[in-house]
Structure formats: structure tokens, C-alpha cells
Chain A
């Protein structure tokens, strides 16, 4: 397992030493292999972003010297809704949270009264008990917008960063989670 880890790391350090700042995981041979999978497949995989490359190189456990700059860069990518409101309309957040092809949040988190939750992510049951303070809204919004700013290389999608949800849509999901009137907080969560 480990025998490929060291050479890639060394290669990367070498790359850094030669003034190359963007880390790369895909070498010429891996690129040729991926291209053999067909054009659509190659187009997606070969477009690997530098931060995705870092998580691949370090197998999702970033070393201390990489961690700081990584988190800083992820934080810089976060954008907010134009009207500045981080808590939108919980009724618009509900279908986003509960639809496979949109947020798909329920697949990994317990808490929804509409879908049985999974356990890949932490339980969000009665998330609204944490209150609606500005800090709580900001934290919730930012974790959904770019979870790697808080949990580097975790499995959760970076919804805002990767353009899967608009800032306003993320604010609706924040409301679904935090608004005391939201079904998420007034109705019992479905569990297995």
C-alpha cells in the first residue's frame, strides 16, 4: 500500500522545488490508462483540480504542512448570497435536502422527517436546537458551501465551490436545518 505513497510524495516535493506550485496526481501513465476508458470518462477525470489532487496524493489525510494553506485556500473560495442573508426559506430548502439528484443530504445524514437517513455523515437530528445565532448560520452555510474549509478531503460534496447549488439555495438549506418552524425541527426524524 505504502510503496507508492512515498515516491509520489517525493515527486511532488521535487515539483515544488522546481517552482511548480500546482500539485499533480495524474502522471503520464495514469493519463494514458484513463484515456483508454473513453472520451467522456477521460474528460472528467483528467480535469482533476489541484485540491482534488492533494486529497488523492495523501489518500485523504493531509500532512500538517499541507493542511494550513489548504484550508486557507478553501476558505477563500466561499461566496455568500447577494442579499447577505444566510438563512433563506426552509420550505425551499426541504426539496433540496431530500432529493437524490440535488442535495442528496439524507443519503448520509439522519434528521429528515421525509427520508430514512444514512450514517456516513454525523446525525443532524433536531439541528435547530443549536439556535439561529449569526455564528451558527455562518458555520452551517460555510460547511455546505465548501466543507473542505472545515473538514479537508471529506466525502461531502462542496456544493457551492463546485457549483452544485447556488448561494441562495444553500441559504434555503440552512433555513431548513436551523429555522425553529422547519419540519426538520418540528417533526421526528426517520431512522432505520
Chain B
């Protein structure tokens, strides 16, 4: 049923012969110029960055994030309390959305990378790993760590004129977390991982 030696461009449906890519080689669709297979996946590095990311994630959420001093009064927030303020202002659905975008999805994604690489390495529970991978594919546009950090920076510029700002441990952990997340995403190629998850069995 499966035509194993063929691969198709998901954007223009052009069909190609599958061939094993050398390092630094990628498969680019000659019709619509989309990169179909980047061939850049390095699961070991992805694992290291994702695991570091998980640890930083816990630190970023456990410690205070930012403190401002406004006319002698101090206010400290954590990432959670910034989401909580949306609930307090009766924007519950927005609160749930933000919680999903900056807590659930990024954490799920990082844990997903850790799990997938471990499962490949030790050949355990491959079918569960596949489920994980499909879910990660659907969730990937909703992982908004970097967007959140830009939001933080914009907010700082806005508040700077009226208040003093102190960055707490949570902020630095979060910045490092974002770096780790970007690098983990770079080295962990979802399409490659999916291919890997399905070809191991036949090999």
C-alpha cells in the first residue's frame, strides 16, 4: 500500500524518488522551491538543549520574573501571575489562551523532544513516540516562547518612563530558555524525526 521509495512535496504535490541525504544536503522541490527535507537533524544536540530547556523552564516559572518600582511601591510578578491578571480582569478565555501558548505548548514541546530522542536511542515505545510526534507537528505553530520574550521587552520600554525595573532570576532563566528552545528546534527537525520513527521499524 505504501510506496516506500517515493516522497511528495506537501505544498505542490510533486513526487520525487526518496534518497538518503548526505550531511549538508537537502531536498528542495524544483517546482515550488520548498525545502522538503532539510537533512540537518542532530538529535543528540537537540536532546541536550531540550533537557537544559526543561530545567530552565522550571526555574523561570518558580522564581520571580520582573519587579518594578513605581513611586516607591514595589510590584513583583511571576510568569503565572501575569497570566492570572487576565483572569482577574474577567478575560478568562484570553487567560487560558496565553497559558496554553507560553506554558503548555513550550513545555510539551521540550518534553516531547527529550522523550523522542530517548525513545530512538533505546528503541522503546516507538508507537507512543509517533503519537507524540504527530501532536508536536500540530502544536508547533502555537509554541510562542520567543514571541513572549519580545512582548516582555516591549512592555519594559513602555513602563520605563514611569517606573524602575529590576530583572529577577526568572527573567534571565527565561531568556536562556528561549535560546535553548530555538536551538533545540533547529537541531530537532520534526519531519526528519517522523521519517526516522517510521523507517526504524523496517530497517
Are A and B associated in one complex?
no
